[in-house]
A and B are shown apart, each in its own frame.
Chain A
Amino acid sequence: MKEEQPIATVTPNTLVGEVKSLSDQGWRLVQIGVTPHGELYEVNYTFDREQKFLNLRLQVPAAGASLPSISGLYWCAFLYENEIHDLFNVAFDGLVLDFKGTLYKTAQPFPFAAQARGGISTNVVHT
């Protein structure tokens, strides 16, 4: 069984408007996740409504990454956004509950960030 998983591309400027539209239509926020892509971060915002799946995707430069928070629309997003900040060093503007880097107690700050990977795009490949 392979589920249909449509992905819509958005930009940091259109993100909040798109999320507001989904919120008004009754979509549930399922998760927010980051995937490093070279010098970019790919951010996935996943939603569900009546078991239907929808994904909003955007890309931001990894260095000095900053995004608008959607925690004003989905309060529960504060947890995902604080997690992303603490692991990837992405700043969120307008967080309703900002832990200021104290949600995760990691030995190394921003352990999943591009800088922590010894630069950019260091996917280890064993041959």
Chain B
Amino acid sequence: MATRTVIPFGPQHPVLPEPIHLDLVVEDEKVVEAIPSIGFIHRGLEKLVEKKDFTEFVFVAERICGICSFIHGQSYCQGIEAIMGLEVPPRAHYLRTIWGELSRIHSHLLWLGLMADAMGFESLFMHSWRVRERVLNIIEATTGGRVIFGSCKVGGVRRDIDEPAMQKLLAELTEVERETREIVHVFINDDTVKHRLCGVGVLPHDEAYKLGCVGPTLRASGWAQDTRKLGYAAFNELTFQPITRTAGDCYARCAVRCDEIFQSVDLIRQAAAKIPAGDIAVKVVGNPNGEYFVRVEQPRGEVIYYLKGNGTKNLQRFRVRTPTFANIPALVKTLQGCNLADVPILILTIDPCISCTER
């Protein structure tokens, strides 16, 4: 038997923008075991719910993550609205859908840039983030924020998008789509990229499900599971099918995210065409009393919010299961047997968000 060596990977590593630690047990250049360690920046935000008014806590929920911030706020609001039986105006549902899909586009473009950077493809990294900047500009123009939108509230949304702004958004989105196609062409067809991603970190179909994977990580192994199909927000009135691949490798996970960018563009166009006129919020009266599990599709996959109110201004319990948390067991499994040089790429393909995980 070859000598086994334990190589610490992280919590500070060039490929990791946030801290996660893995003890990699290697035999020569092969990883035989990976033991994860998290919790370096655990913030205890779940407990903060006991001290914040439930209508104000949406600001905390949005700050769980700087990438899918809006969707965190949306998930929280949907939970409170379900408990209190609030009927959110249809226009607010459509606006939430548009901002949620813009979040998905900029998140996937961010990930494409990080992936290009990890492969040493610096020009591709810069182009990905250049296009992402255009998406952030759209978000800033419609919400006033680039990272924290602050536009979602219990009962609806705080800001509207008027018709001229919507047309400007759609025109800009057309440019984003055109430029993204050029970038995605490289990710999908370039020999260097394929050489680094194809056949690496294969997550078999059945194993992806048993390991509790979610989002692009699950769909790249052939599962057409997308929480948006539950029909929350305006998704029950929009036409789309989950993007899937069957290979289950790093390339498949990359391809799913590439296609989801164009799917999100299409969903925004559908929403813009169908958005009804009307109010954007309803008045909230009383306090939440009851419990509800919210399921929403973030860029990295299904997020679960458990909210429990006891009739006071403060919730009794706020619990978040983030998609990265659900994908860590699969990461540990796929690292077993991979080459040491592939570890950074493999970790990136689950699109880890430690900020979410350390809520």
Contact = CB atoms under 8 A, between A and B. Distances in A.
Contact of B325 (A35, A79, A104): A79
Contacts of B35: 97
Interface in A1-17: 1-3, 5
Contact of B319 (A1, A2, A35, A76): A35
A63 interface: no
A30 B212 contact: yes
Given A46-B304, A112-B46, 9 more contacts: A1-B231, A5-B293, A28-B210, A30-B321, A33-B306, A35-B316, A46-B293, A76-B329, A125-B312
A103 B39 contact: yes
Contacts of A124: 50-51, 314
A66 interface: no
Contacts, number: 98
Contacts of B330: 76
Contacts of A30: 212, 302, 304, 321, 326
21 contacts: A2-B82, A3-B230, A5-B292, A5-B293, A31-B304, A31-B319, A31-B326, A33-B306, A51-B225, A75-B211, A75-B329, A76-B210, A78-B329, A79-B328, A102-B37, A103-B39, A105-B42, A112-B46, A123-B50, A124-B50, A124-B314
Interface string B27-61: 00000000111111010101100110100000000
Contacts of B312: 123, 125-126
Residue of B46, B82, B212 ringed by the most chain A CB atoms within 10 A: B212
A111 B37 CA distance: 18
A21 interface: no
Contact of A35 (B231, B304, B313, B317): B317
Contacts of A29: 212
B308 interface: yes
Interface residues of A, number: 36
B355 to A, nearest CB: 15
A118 B314 CA distance: 18
A29 B236 CA distance: 25
B262 interface: no
B348 to A, nearest CB: 20
Interface string A25-69: 000111101111000000010100001010100000000000000
